[in-house]
Amino acid sequence: MPRRKKKDPFICPSCGTRVNEPVKTWTIVSPIPDKYGRITVTIMGSFQCPNCGAKWKDSIKKIKTGGDEEAMREGEEKKEEGTIIEIDLSDLDEIEL
């Protein structure tokens, strides 16, 4: 599947006029990290065209923060092994009081 070209969020989708700055900005933090443990912070903007008056919202920038730097460099994630608990099913039948 071909990649889409990144469009400029500062250009009006109706008339093509370039807007200097957004009317309002805010951030969105993703609740789930990626496979390397990085959190994505998206900076959103609300725009209004001075030429035609159209209003639109678009993402201005995406930033990835945190995570395991060593695993990102190697291209693989570290696997953590937990403790293994073995239970004999015959022990479950006996109730201790």
Taking the domains of the chain in order of start, what are their residue ranges?
A: 7-66
- Name the pTM for this structure: 0.60
Could you tell me the two tokens for 4? 């889409």
Taking residues 4-28, what's their average pLDDT? 87
For the segment 72-96, what is each residue's pLDDT rounded down to a tens digit?
A: 566 554 556 678 777 777 766 665 5
Give CA–CA dist 75/1, Å, rounded: 23
SS3 label, residue 73: helix
